[in-house]
Structure 1
Amino acid sequence: MTFAAATAAYTAWLVNTLTNAVAQEHAAAYQARLATAATMPVTVVRHRCPHCGRSRAKEAAAKAHVARCWQNPAVRACKTCGHFEPYVPARGCWGDPYCNCPEVPEGCAVGAWPDGVPFPVIDCPSWEATS
Protein backbone atom coordinates (compact mmCIF):
# COMPACT_ATOMS: atom_id res chain seq x y z
CA MET A 1 0.00 0.00 0.00
CA THR A 2 1.36 3.37 -0.91
CA PHE A 3 1.57 6.32 1.41
CA ALA A 4 -1.21 8.17 -0.48
CA ALA A 5 -3.55 5.15 -0.33
CA ALA A 6 -2.87 4.66 3.38
CA THR A 7 -3.50 8.36 4.05
CA ALA A 8 -6.78 8.25 2.10
CA ALA A 9 -7.95 5.13 3.98
CA TYR A 10 -7.03 6.69 7.35
CA THR A 11 -8.80 9.93 6.42
CA ALA A 12 -11.97 8.05 5.40
CA TRP A 13 -11.88 6.05 8.67
CA LEU A 14 -11.35 9.19 10.75
CA VAL A 15 -14.19 11.09 9.02
CA ASN A 16 -16.55 8.13 9.47
CA THR A 17 -15.62 7.75 13.16
CA LEU A 18 -16.07 11.47 13.86
CA THR A 19 -19.38 11.58 11.96
CA ASN A 20 -20.71 8.65 14.02
CA ALA A 21 -19.53 10.28 17.25
CA VAL A 22 -21.29 13.55 16.38
CA ALA A 23 -24.48 11.68 15.46
CA GLN A 24 -24.42 9.79 18.77
CA GLU A 25 -23.83 13.03 20.65
CA HIS A 26 -26.79 14.67 18.90
CA ALA A 27 -29.01 11.65 19.64
CA ALA A 28 -27.99 11.68 23.32
CA ALA A 29 -28.69 15.42 23.58
CA TYR A 30 -32.11 14.94 21.95
CA GLN A 31 -32.99 12.10 24.34
CA ALA A 32 -31.97 14.28 27.31
CA ARG A 33 -34.18 17.15 26.07
CA LEU A 34 -37.03 14.75 25.39
CA ALA A 35 -36.90 13.40 28.95
CA THR A 36 -37.17 16.87 30.46
CA ALA A 37 -39.51 18.47 27.90
CA ALA A 38 -42.61 20.00 29.44
CA THR A 39 -45.81 20.52 27.53
CA MET A 40 -48.34 23.25 28.05
CA PRO A 41 -52.03 22.28 28.05
CA VAL A 42 -54.27 24.35 25.79
CA THR A 43 -58.02 24.67 26.12
CA VAL A 44 -59.77 24.75 22.77
CA VAL A 45 -63.30 26.01 22.30
CA ARG A 46 -65.36 24.21 19.64
CA HIS A 47 -68.94 24.95 18.67
CA ARG A 48 -71.04 21.81 18.11
CA CYS A 49 -74.29 21.32 16.22
CA PRO A 50 -76.91 19.96 18.64
CA HIS A 51 -78.55 17.94 15.84
CA CYS A 52 -75.74 16.11 14.03
CA GLY A 53 -72.73 16.61 16.30
CA ARG A 54 -70.44 18.30 13.76
CA SER A 55 -68.24 20.95 15.30
CA ARG A 56 -66.53 24.09 14.09
CA ALA A 57 -63.81 26.30 15.53
CA LYS A 58 -65.62 29.51 14.63
CA GLU A 59 -68.99 30.30 16.18
CA ALA A 60 -70.28 32.03 13.03
CA ALA A 61 -69.50 28.94 10.93
CA ALA A 62 -71.24 26.70 13.48
CA LYS A 63 -74.34 28.91 13.49
CA ALA A 64 -74.42 28.87 9.69
CA HIS A 65 -74.23 25.07 9.77
CA VAL A 66 -77.06 24.73 12.34
CA ALA A 67 -79.23 26.99 10.18
CA ARG A 68 -78.91 24.55 7.26
CA CYS A 69 -78.30 21.22 9.03
CA TRP A 70 -80.38 18.46 7.42
CA GLN A 71 -81.05 16.90 10.82
CA ASN A 72 -82.41 20.12 12.34
CA PRO A 73 -86.25 19.88 12.38
CA ALA A 74 -86.56 23.68 12.17
CA VAL A 75 -84.88 23.57 8.73
CA ARG A 76 -87.71 21.37 7.42
CA ALA A 77 -85.28 19.21 5.45
CA CYS A 78 -85.95 15.81 3.93
CA LYS A 79 -83.97 13.88 6.55
CA THR A 80 -86.36 14.96 9.35
CA CYS A 81 -89.55 14.58 7.31
CA GLY A 82 -92.15 11.86 7.70
CA HIS A 83 -92.00 11.28 3.92
CA PHE A 84 -88.25 10.57 3.93
CA GLU A 85 -87.26 7.17 2.55
CA PRO A 86 -83.71 6.19 3.63
CA TYR A 87 -81.13 4.53 1.42
CA VAL A 88 -81.39 0.74 1.24
CA PRO A 89 -78.36 -1.13 -0.09
CA ALA A 90 -78.78 -4.02 -2.53
CA ARG A 91 -78.43 -7.17 -0.42
CA GLY A 92 -80.09 -9.79 -2.57
CA CYS A 93 -83.37 -11.59 -1.91
CA TRP A 94 -83.24 -14.14 0.87
CA GLY A 95 -79.44 -14.14 0.82
CA ASP A 96 -79.17 -14.98 -2.89
CA PRO A 97 -76.11 -13.07 -4.21
CA TYR A 98 -77.31 -13.47 -7.83
CA CYS A 99 -80.69 -11.83 -7.24
CA ASN A 100 -80.04 -8.41 -8.86
CA CYS A 101 -82.38 -6.60 -6.49
CA PRO A 102 -81.69 -2.89 -6.99
CA GLU A 103 -80.50 -0.63 -4.24
CA VAL A 104 -82.98 2.03 -3.20
CA PRO A 105 -81.58 5.57 -3.07
CA GLU A 106 -82.71 8.20 -0.57
CA GLY A 107 -85.91 9.79 -1.67
CA CYS A 108 -89.25 11.34 -0.87
CA ALA A 109 -92.39 9.21 -0.63
CA VAL A 110 -94.49 11.98 -2.15
CA GLY A 111 -91.85 13.30 -4.61
CA ALA A 112 -92.15 16.78 -3.16
CA TRP A 113 -88.88 18.30 -4.24
CA PRO A 114 -89.04 20.74 -7.19
CA ASP A 115 -87.41 20.01 -10.55
CA GLY A 116 -83.76 21.05 -10.73
CA VAL A 117 -83.31 21.13 -6.94
CA PRO A 118 -80.85 18.51 -5.67
CA PHE A 119 -81.95 16.08 -2.96
CA PRO A 120 -82.31 16.64 0.02
CA VAL A 121 -84.47 19.74 0.05
CA ILE A 122 -84.45 22.44 2.73
CA ASP A 123 -87.67 24.36 3.59
CA CYS A 124 -89.84 21.84 1.77
CA PRO A 125 -93.50 22.89 1.47
CA SER A 126 -94.61 19.24 1.90
CA TRP A 127 -92.52 18.65 5.04
CA GLU A 128 -94.28 16.79 7.86
CA ALA A 129 -92.93 15.97 11.30
CA THR A 130 -92.05 12.33 11.86
CA SER A 131 -94.45 10.49 14.06
Structure 2
Amino acid sequence: MKPMQSPLQHTQGGTSSGHRAWSALIGPIGLAMAVGVAYFLGARLSLALLTKPDGVAVFWPAAGIASGTLIALGPRARLPVVLGVVAATIVANILGDRNFAAGVVFALCNAGEALLVAGLIQRTFGREFRLESLRSVVG
Protein backbone atom coordinates (compact mmCIF):
# COMPACT_ATOMS: atom_id res chain seq x y z
CA MET A 1 0.00 0.00 0.00
CA LYS A 2 1.38 3.38 -1.05
CA PRO A 3 1.57 6.09 1.66
CA MET A 4 -0.66 9.13 1.25
CA GLN A 5 0.99 12.27 -0.05
CA SER A 6 0.24 15.89 0.61
CA PRO A 7 -1.83 17.55 -2.12
CA LEU A 8 1.05 19.95 -2.73
CA GLN A 9 3.65 17.21 -3.16
CA HIS A 10 4.59 16.26 -6.69
CA THR A 11 3.42 12.70 -7.34
CA GLN A 12 5.84 10.45 -9.15
CA GLY A 13 5.64 7.09 -10.87
CA GLY A 14 2.73 4.69 -10.77
CA THR A 15 -0.04 7.24 -11.23
CA SER A 16 -1.74 8.34 -14.39
CA SER A 17 -1.16 11.82 -15.74
CA GLY A 18 -4.90 12.49 -15.40
CA HIS A 19 -4.75 11.68 -11.69
CA ARG A 20 -1.69 13.90 -11.26
CA ALA A 21 -3.39 16.77 -13.08
CA TRP A 22 -6.53 16.37 -10.96
CA SER A 23 -4.50 16.23 -7.73
CA ALA A 24 -2.42 19.20 -8.82
CA LEU A 25 -5.62 21.22 -9.32
CA ILE A 26 -7.55 20.06 -6.24
CA GLY A 27 -4.62 20.46 -3.84
CA PRO A 28 -4.12 24.21 -4.34
CA ILE A 29 -7.87 24.87 -4.54
CA GLY A 30 -8.47 22.91 -1.35
CA LEU A 31 -5.62 24.74 0.36
CA ALA A 32 -6.97 28.12 -0.75
CA MET A 33 -10.42 27.21 0.57
CA ALA A 34 -9.09 25.88 3.89
CA VAL A 35 -6.89 28.93 4.45
CA GLY A 36 -9.73 31.20 3.38
CA VAL A 37 -12.18 29.68 5.87
CA ALA A 38 -9.68 29.68 8.75
CA TYR A 39 -8.55 33.22 7.91
CA PHE A 40 -12.15 34.42 7.65
CA LEU A 41 -13.01 33.02 11.09
CA GLY A 42 -9.92 34.62 12.63
CA ALA A 43 -10.65 37.92 10.91
CA ARG A 44 -14.28 37.94 12.07
CA LEU A 45 -13.13 37.31 15.64
CA SER A 46 -10.71 40.23 15.42
CA LEU A 47 -13.26 42.54 13.81
CA ALA A 48 -15.76 41.69 16.56
CA LEU A 49 -13.25 42.97 19.13
CA LEU A 50 -12.50 46.35 17.52
CA THR A 51 -11.64 49.11 19.96
CA LYS A 52 -14.11 51.94 20.25
CA PRO A 53 -14.09 54.71 18.95
CA ASP A 54 -10.91 54.16 16.88
CA GLY A 55 -12.07 50.95 15.21
CA VAL A 56 -8.62 49.36 15.47
CA ALA A 57 -8.25 45.59 15.76
CA VAL A 58 -6.68 44.68 19.11
CA PHE A 59 -5.10 41.55 17.65
CA TRP A 60 -5.20 39.72 14.31
CA PRO A 61 -4.80 35.93 14.72
CA ALA A 62 -5.61 35.43 11.06
CA ALA A 63 -2.12 36.74 10.20
CA GLY A 64 -0.61 33.81 12.08
CA ILE A 65 -2.76 31.38 10.13
CA ALA A 66 -1.54 32.71 6.79
CA SER A 67 2.10 33.13 7.81
CA GLY A 68 2.21 29.76 9.54
CA THR A 69 0.74 27.99 6.52
CA LEU A 70 3.32 29.58 4.23
CA ILE A 71 6.17 28.75 6.59
CA ALA A 72 5.00 25.15 6.99
CA LEU A 73 4.22 24.43 3.33
CA GLY A 74 6.86 26.55 1.62
CA PRO A 75 6.91 28.61 -1.55
CA ARG A 76 4.61 26.29 -3.53
CA ALA A 77 1.75 27.34 -1.25
CA ARG A 78 2.10 31.06 -1.98
CA LEU A 79 -0.63 31.47 -4.58
CA PRO A 80 -3.32 29.39 -2.81
CA VAL A 81 -2.62 31.10 0.52
CA VAL A 82 -2.66 34.58 -1.03
CA LEU A 83 -5.94 33.86 -2.84
CA GLY A 84 -7.51 32.51 0.35
CA VAL A 85 -6.32 35.50 2.39
CA VAL A 86 -7.52 38.04 -0.18
CA ALA A 87 -10.97 36.47 -0.55
CA ALA A 88 -11.45 36.02 3.20
CA THR A 89 -10.27 39.54 4.03
CA ILE A 90 -12.57 41.17 1.50
CA VAL A 91 -15.61 39.20 2.69
CA ALA A 92 -14.82 39.76 6.38
CA ASN A 93 -14.39 43.50 5.85
CA ILE A 94 -17.60 43.83 3.84
CA LEU A 95 -19.49 41.95 6.56
CA GLY A 96 -17.80 44.24 9.09
CA ASP A 97 -19.44 47.31 7.51
CA ARG A 98 -16.47 48.40 5.41
CA ASN A 99 -16.69 49.10 1.70
CA PHE A 100 -15.23 46.96 -1.08
CA ALA A 101 -12.30 49.30 -1.77
CA ALA A 102 -11.23 49.25 1.88
CA GLY A 103 -11.56 45.46 1.87
CA VAL A 104 -9.26 45.20 -1.16
CA VAL A 105 -6.65 47.46 0.44
CA PHE A 106 -6.71 45.45 3.67
CA ALA A 107 -6.62 42.20 1.66
CA LEU A 108 -3.50 43.22 -0.25
CA CYS A 109 -1.80 44.39 2.95
CA ASN A 110 -2.68 41.18 4.79
CA ALA A 111 -1.49 38.96 1.94
CA GLY A 112 1.71 41.00 1.62
CA GLU A 113 2.34 40.71 5.34
CA ALA A 114 2.10 36.91 5.24
CA LEU A 115 4.41 36.74 2.21
CA LEU A 116 6.91 39.07 3.88
CA VAL A 117 6.99 37.10 7.15
CA ALA A 118 7.35 33.74 5.39
CA GLY A 119 10.00 35.15 3.05
CA LEU A 120 12.05 36.56 5.93
CA ILE A 121 11.84 33.27 7.83
CA GLN A 122 12.93 31.33 4.74
CA ARG A 123 15.76 33.77 4.00
CA THR A 124 17.02 33.71 7.59
CA PHE A 125 16.60 30.02 8.40
CA GLY A 126 16.39 28.29 5.01
CA ARG A 127 13.70 26.07 3.55
CA GLU A 128 13.89 23.52 6.33
CA PHE A 129 12.72 25.84 9.12
CA ARG A 130 11.71 23.93 12.27
CA LEU A 131 10.82 25.14 15.76
CA GLU A 132 13.41 22.83 17.32
CA SER A 133 15.96 25.34 18.59
CA LEU A 134 15.83 28.47 20.68
CA ARG A 135 17.32 30.43 17.76
CA SER A 136 14.41 29.40 15.51
CA VAL A 137 11.76 30.12 18.13
CA VAL A 138 13.17 33.56 18.96
CA GLY A 139 13.85 34.35 15.27
Same fold (TM > 0.5): no
What is the TM-score normalised by the length of structure 2? 0.25
Rg comparison, structure with higher value: 1
More relative contact order in 1 or in 2 (CA 8 Å, sep 6+)?
2
What is the TM-score normalised by the length of structure 1? 0.26
